[in-house]
Amino acid sequence: MTLQERVTAGLAVERVDLAAAYRLIAEFGMDDSIFTHISARAPGEEGEHAFLINPYGLRFDEVTAGNLVTVDLDGNILRDAYGAGINQAGFTIHSAIHAARPDVHCVLHTHTVAGVAISSMEEGILPLNQWSLQFHDRVAFHDYEGVALSLEERERLVADLGDRNVMILRNHGLLTCGRTVGEAFSLMHNLERTCRAQLAVMSSGGTPRLVDRALAEHTAGQFEAWSKLHDTPGKADAEWAAYMRLAKKRHPDFDS
């Protein structure tokens, strides 16, 4: 899908990419009814320091580029074609990170069965396989404080996140950050598979074979080096382009 094809009806690339991420999270079974959220920094013309997020009440497979809500860091709704506002818990989490991390373009949060299960275990992610080694020693943790309705939690959440791009919200779910929507989605897709594989191993009755710490660190470094190699301004993200083609094939209205 070319840039020209993605920017339809005057909608910015940021909106099109984010709407695709919503549809793909639903496509891969990582949504949770009308709850959880994905956000991305809004186009500059929609408001300074504003971000895009889903309208409250829509399923992820109903989100389009045009009905995404624009909200600023103070919670003021700047654009809302659907008219239902946003989820307050979503605002608390996403506004905190967008305010504290200018390097982050997209924040993705899920409540999957596998993710919630791993978030409910003291051990977190174990070094069991190549998927998990991407996250070795690179995961932040934030303790559960109840439904995220208090804006006071934002300070503690960003302090726990620090400069990391992956966080386990204890007893709650998973969160990833990306310099692009594609990066945040790819991290979440791999994190979700990591959680599912770990649960499969733990329930198999077999003996888990842990990768030793030195090799785990080496492999995590390889993932980081690969990421930097593809971190060239203007360079296309081949994996995200493939996912965009899938979104267009399965959900042709997402960019409307």
Assigned domain for 1 exists: no
* Range list of β-strands (E), 24-164: 37-41, 50-53, 69-72, 77-79, 106-110, 140-142
Report whether pLDDT(230) > 80: no
The model's pTM is: 0.93
CATH classification at residue 60: 3.40.225.10
52: tokens are 């895009």
**Can you give the residue range of the structural domain that contains 149?**
12-231
Mean pLDDT of the chain: 93
**Residue at 4 is within a domain:** no
The set of residues, in sequence order, having a beta carbon less than 8 Å from that of 247 and lying 6+ positions away, is 20, 23, 24, 27, 254
Q: Is residue 186 part of a domain?
A: yes
Give how many domains the chain has, as a whole number: 1
Residue 110 pairs with which residues in a beta bridge?
A: 174
Residue 252 lies in a domain: no
What are φ and ψ of residue 203, in 5° steps? -95, 0
Query: Does residue 123 form part of some domain?
Result: yes
In this model, does residue 7 exceed pLDDT 60?
no
d(CA 90, CA 35) in angstroms, rounded, equals 9
Classify residue 214: in a domain, yes or no: yes
Tens digit of pLDDT for each residue in 211-228? 999 999 999 999 999 887
pLDDT of residue 4: 39
- Range scoring the smallest mean pLDDT among 8-17, 27-36, 135-144: 8-17
β-pair partners for 167: 140, 175
Tell me whether residue 33 is in a domain: yes
In a domain, 256, yes or no: no
Question: Residue 244 in 3-state DSSP?
Answer: helix
- Out of 91-95, 183-187, 233-237, least confident range: 233-237
- The DSSP code for 62 is G
CA angle 162/223/247 to nearest 5° reads: 90
Structure token digits, residue 64:
């389009």
